[in-house]
Amino acid sequence: MKKYLISILTSNDINILEITINCALNQLYKNFDVYIIVNTLDELYEENVKQLCDKKFKDKIKKIIKTKSNGKPGMGYNSVLQEFNKTSYEYLLICDGDDFFYPTTLSRVEFLLTKNNYDTISLAGNPTKIYIENQCSCKDFRDQYNNKKFLWIRSVNIERNVVSYLSEDFNNTIATPFRLFVISKNFSEKNDKIYDTDCKCYADYSGFLKTYYHYVNKNYSTCFISDPYMYMYNYSSLTSISHNNIKELDDVNIIKSKYDLKNLDVSKINIKVNDQLTIIEKEHVEEFDKKINKLYFNYHIEK
């Protein structure tokens, strides 16, 4: 029975971080610890995080670590890997401080790793999102999972979505096609600077492209999976790139200059699909959906 480390990377918004921590702690699979990695230029934010954990999560958070920040996400992601390398945990799960884990996240990861000791697991797209409608209620995209809008998730060839996004035609609905999600110690020890530290918004692209390189060259055992019950992307976050529709041409030029996109053949990727729930998982997911809707509704009412 593996013991996992969940690292929550946060830089702002203490109220939404509270929801994120609650979701991370509420796992069906219980053998894990939680670190909070504070990576921000805001000197006061670390103290806010400590006060939150002392008040709401006493003895439930293993460590709170402040790491060096340049104000860009890549350095934050790299610091998560570097802190992981100092531990004895076998596997790391990364959660952004404004996104949410399902209660089924760890149990589904454990199921995958029981069958195959993957070095990395990357999630294909973000099939589950929440956003705030006019009535300030939450909604996800699972009901559209088989619709044309998300047909690319189940398709092997998603090259169009990768390459066209890094051009003048921005598409914030899709964003980074794969999120590097689960990382083994074997992978992390040799790749703890996998994220580009120059990108303002799209550091995820560098993580994906380097993981893809290792995948096609068979350097590591890699799983690409589409599973809507592992990670909920918070599309409505006020700091979300997708929500704000930020068009960072500088980031696009950085990615284009550093990586050989012309020879990127994503059709080589074998994407596993798991959108089925056990009876027990279904009960917990339904309860989670109601809870996250209520928490997030109240959060935006307060805003």
Domain locations in the chain? 4-302
Within 8 A by CB and 6+ apart from 148, the residues are none
pLDDT at 265: 66
Q: At what angle do helices 14-25 and 279-302 cross, to 10 degrees?
A: 170
Q: At what angle do helices 45-56 and 14-25 cross, to 10 degrees?
A: 40
pLDDT at 54: 97
Per-residue pLDDT band at 236 (split at 50, 70, 90): low
**Strands in 54-124 per DSSP E:** 63-66, 91-96, 100-101, 120-124
Q: Which residues pair with 226 in a beta bridge?
A: 273
- Alpha carbon separation from 149 to 125, 141, 155 (Å, rounded): 12, 10, 12
Instruction: Please tell me the least confidently modeled range out of 75-79, 81-85, 111-115, 225-229.
Output: 225-229
Write down the architecture of domain 4-302 according to CATH: Alpha-Beta Complex (3.90)
Instruction: Please tell me the least confidently modeled range out of 97-106, 178-187, 266-275.
Output: 266-275
pLDDT (mean) for 215-241 = 80
Of 110, 107, 105, 108, nearest to 94 by C-alpha is: 105
pLDDT (mean) for 174-194 = 86
More confident residue, 157 or 187: 187
Per-residue pLDDT band at 40 (split at 50, 70, 90): very high
Per-residue pLDDT band at 205 (split at 50, 70, 90): confident
Query: If you average pLDDT over every residue of the chain, what do you get?
Result: 79
pLDDT at 245: 46
Q: Hey, how many other C-beta atoms are within 10 angstroms of the C-beta on 217? A: 8
Quickly tell me which residue has 């998300």 as its tokens.
150
pLDDT tens digits, one per residue of 50-59: 999 999 999 9
pLDDT (mean) for 220-249 = 71
pLDDT at 232: 82
Cβ atoms of 46 and 17 closer than 8 Å? no
In this predicted structure, the answer to whether residue 38 has a pLDDT above a threshold of 70 is yes
Q: Determine the straight-line distance between the first and last CA of the chain, rounded to whole angstroms.
A: 42
Cβ atoms of 62 and 33 closer than 8 Å? yes
Q: Within 13 Å and on the Cβ side, how many CA atoms surround 37? A: 26
Query: What percent of the chain stands above pLDDT 70?
Result: 72
Quote the pTM value. 0.84
Most confident option among 82-91, 233-242, 269-278? 82-91
pLDDT tens digits, one per residue of 119-170: 999 987 554 444 444 333 334 444 443 333 333 333 333 333 443 443 433 3
Long-range CB pairs of 207-211 (<8 Å, 24+ gap) are: 207/77, 207/176, 207/180, 208/122, 208/176, 208/177, 208/178, 208/179, 208/180, 209/255, 209/259, 209/264, 211/120, 211/122, 211/178, 211/180
In this predicted structure, the answer to whether residue 264 has a pLDDT above a threshold of 70 is no
